[in-house]
Structure 1
Amino acid sequence: MAVSITRRPTPRPTLKGRSFLTTGEFTREELSEILDLAIQYKTLGHGRPLRGKSIALVFFNPSLRTRASMEIAIHRLGGHAVVLDVGKGMWTLEYREGVVMDGDRSEHIKEAARVLSRYVAAIGVRSFPALRSFEEERQDPILRSFARHSSVPIINLESAMFHPLQALADVMTIRETFGLVDQRRVVLCWAYHPKPLPMAVPNSFALIAAQFGMNLTIACPPEYELDPELMEMVRAHAQRNGGRVRVLHDRREACRGAEIIYAKSWGSRHYYGRWEEEQAVRERYRDWIVDEALMRATQRGYFMHCLPVRRNVVVTDAVLDSERSLVIQQAENRLHVQKAVLSMLL
């Protein structure tokens, strides 16, 4: 479905100079303006608002879509990307405060962030959790350390707890598909995976779905419910924006009548750091795969996933390759929302 723009959006001065760490730090109106600009960029093109500006992209972890789309977004907007792989071409970084640095980490984020701030207009940071301590990693220590010590905007390229750029691309895709996002019946469905994965994507999708007033159902085994503090925030946003949030442990019941199934695997916070124990629990749910039978329970629903995805583990070939699969559109939209975020913050 084509999305019309009734007015030509322009970057809001109030967004200039801000960091983009989670969507929860922005209002729905601000997020909507970012999406308006992203859709304009996708359909009408854009100028070169980053001309003469450099942006550092600091990667602690691997990436395909985020790395490629950010480099291309910066280039197309007239800027220059400086890509830094931690421990591979740059020093390993310490983030803990007051630590005696006599181990294998060569430089502290305090100096790295301050120095980069003298060179670039913004710093993008990608840092997955170590999956050892939930209480520590739920604080997003690496991302927040960059935010504390940098004097330029920090852009979250996926952290221990959040992936806001992916969430924006998800909502853009839903908006393109349906026109309106309010009251959309979406299911965030846990799926089996042989390894425990971070919670950043499900956290961010649940949050932004609530911010945009969707009717969100989270389908997961009892051991895999999301962080209660995060869910409290999600429910508050849903109430404020006219949406609804449910958590169900029966995935077929959850998917009945859904318009979208968003599949994603994540590790259990109850076994965080004790993954050998968690593996026995995880194996009980090998049948949590999105297949044609599950899709038939929906209201001609669409399938979404952030990628990368394991075929015939998380989702069957038949569903992933079907005309109801939106995964490639989601991935493309990463490019456009990132161009919009860069333009509005810088």
Structure 2
Amino acid sequence: MSNFFDFMNIKKGEIENLITMAEKFKRGEILDKPLKDKMIGLLFNVPSTRTRISFQAAIKQLGGEVATYNSQDLQLANKESMKDTATVMGKYLDGLVVRWYNMNDYGYGRNTLNEIADSSNLPVINALDDKDHPCQILADILTLKEKYGENYRKKKVLFTWGYADRKKSPGCTHSMLTAASILGMDLRIAHPKGFELDNEYLSFAENAARQSGANIEFSNDLDESIEGVDVVYAKAWGSLSLPGYEEQKYKCDIKDQWLVNSERFARANSDAYFINPLPIIRGDEATADIIDGPRSLMYQTAENRLHVQKATLTSLYSR
């Protein structure tokens, strides 16, 4: 890989190698320092907790130095072009981790990532844009593999929409859809009408699933789709089609129908797990008893962010 933006542009074997490498990092089997004497920049235009901190820790543990830049602290705030900013960053740094999006302008984030990569000539890692969040989904799949071994591909994973007050990126959903279709997983995506995914991702997943044997399903009914699943992954994302004012009212009207509560979670298999990538507000996507309950893998997945960040960085710099 020269950049890591999404799963649509890497092969099945590369995804599997990243997960395997993350497992080795977690077990302490890899002690290499591929970032020795390298400076990696983190450029963010929206808030971040786990992604920012896990990358900071990973870079340091791999022997590198890290600097974090908020767009409002740079001349970007005074309308300097991203081309000029990224070109100069390319003269100073050895790589960039970028979180950049504005969900009122879908596609703006990915276009910006492409511009940064082209102008800086640096390896660029997508730390969440308006289309993908591959680093998060790598951590989720690592967690599933830890629980189920190679059999994780045969477990029924429900990825369901949930309420959030703010308009969130569909990045996790798109990345889970594409990764599952490449890896041959059994994935069901549930969402209200009006929250359909990008057609580019739907088409890619359909073609990839034919090659891998993945089972990809869609539903507009949480009560129906949660029946008998092994994993419930609740995640809000914004509509790509509804006007903002209409979306906000609609979300409020349907919030309770899409809440993962104890009654709905009981419809899943008795040993089902719950996943959320965080942040989460208890009572929005799921209730506190599910989020904080014994079947929640939320914090394990958050821990695994560190190990997949190490694997991703190593894959870019150990060449």
Q: What one-letter code is carried by the residue in structure 1 that aligns with 2:252?
A: E
Query: Partners of 1:280 and 1:50 in 2: how far apart?
Result: 48
* TM-superposed deviation, 1:51: 0.9
Correspondence for 1:100: none
1:157-236 paired onto structure 2 within 5 Å? 157-180=127-150, 181-236=152-207
Query: Partners of 2:28 and 2:110 in 1: how far apart?
Result: 37
Query: Partners of 1:48 and 1:279 in 2: how far apart?
Result: 47
* TM-superposed deviation, 1:270: 1.7
**In structure 2, the residue corresponding to 1:216 is in which secondary structure?**
strand
**In structure 2, the residue corresponding to 1:172 is in which secondary structure?**
helix
Superimposed CA distance per residue, residues 141-190 of structure 1 (whole angstroms, 9 cap, x where no aligned partner)? 11111122121211111111111111111111111111023222111101
Structure 2-normalised TM-score? 0.94
Q: Percent identity?
A: 31
Q: What one-letter code is carried by the residue in structure 1 that aligns with 2:86?
A: A
1:132 to 86, 104, 115: 104
Query: Partners of 1:124 and 1:195 in 2: how far apart?
Result: 24
* TM-superposed deviation, 1:249: 1.0
Superimposed CA distance per residue, residues 222-247 of structure 1 (whole angstroms, 9 cap, x where no aligned partner)? 11121222111122222211111111
2:159·2:188 contact (CA, 8 Å) conserved in 1? yes
1:21-60 paired onto structure 2 within 5 Å? 21-45=5-29, 46-60=31-45
* TM-superposed deviation, 1:206: 1.5
CA RMSD, aligned part only? 1.4
1:115 to 88, 97, 105: 88
Q: What one-letter code is carried by the residue in structure 2 that aligns with 1:77?
A: L
200-209 or 64-73, which deviates more: 200-209
**In structure 1, the residue corresponding to 2:153 is in which secondary structure?**
coil
Correspondence for 2:315: 344
* TM-superposed deviation, 1:214: 0.9
**In structure 2, the residue corresponding to 1:269 is in which secondary structure?**
coil
Consecutive aligned runs of 4 or more in structure 1 exceeding 3 Å deviation: none
Correspondence for 2:267: 297
* TM-superposed deviation, 1:336: 0.3
Q: Indicate yes or no: 2:67 matched with 1:82.
A: yes
Query: Partners of 2:47 and 2:229 in 1: how far apart?
Result: 33
Q: What one-letter code is carried by the residue in structure 2 that aligns with 1:162?
A: D
Q: 1:174/1:317 Cα in 2 relative to 1: closer, same or farther (>3 Å)?
A: same
1:52·1:79 contact (CA, 8 Å) conserved in 2? yes
Higher helix proportion, which one? 2
Q: What one-letter code is carried by the residue in structure 1 that aligns with 2:134?
A: P
**In structure 2, the residue corresponding to 1:222 is in which secondary structure?**
coil
Correspondence for 1:257: 228
**In structure 2, the residue corresponding to 1:258 is in which secondary structure?**
coil
**In structure 2, the residue corresponding to 1:331 is in which secondary structure?**
helix
* TM-superposed deviation, 1:133: 3.4
Query: Partners of 1:128 and 1:109 in 2: how far apart?
Result: 13
Query: Partners of 1:110 and 1:290 in 2: how far apart?
Result: 43
Query: Partners of 1:55 and 1:196 in 2: how far apart?
Result: 29
Segments of structure 1 that go 5 or more residues without pairing to the other structure are 1-14, 94-103
Q: What one-letter code is carried by the residue in structure 2 that aligns with 1:336?
A: H
Query: Partners of 2:248 and 2:46 in 1: how far apart?
Result: 23
1:235·1:244 contact (CA, 8 Å) conserved in 2? no
* TM-superposed deviation, 1:313: 1.6
Correspondence for 1:323: 294
* TM-superposed deviation, 1:291: 0.9
Query: Partners of 1:317 and 1:214 in 2: how far apart?
Result: 28
Segments of structure 2 that go 5 or more residues without pairing to the other structure are none
Query: Partners of 2:139 and 2:104 in 1: how far apart?
Result: 29
Superimposed CA distance per residue, residues 58-117 of structure 1 (whole angstroms, 9 cap, x where no aligned partner)? 1111111111110100000110002111112x2116xxxxxxxxxx41x22222222212
1:291·1:316 contact (CA, 8 Å) conserved in 2? yes
2:129·2:169 contact (CA, 8 Å) conserved in 1? no
Correspondence for 1:69: 54
1:91-102 paired onto structure 2 within 5 Å? 91-92=75-76
User: What is the count of residue pairs matched by the alignment?
Assistant: 313
1:248 to 216, 219, 236: 219
Query: Partners of 1:142 and 1:313 in 2: how far apart?
Result: 31
Structure 1-normalised TM-score? 0.87
* TM-superposed deviation, 1:21: 0.8
Query: Partners of 2:262 and 2:7 in 1: how far apart?
Result: 33
1:123·1:155 contact (CA, 8 Å) conserved in 2? yes
Correspondence for 2:125: 155
2:128·2:171 contact (CA, 8 Å) conserved in 1? yes
* TM-superposed deviation, 1:132: 2.4
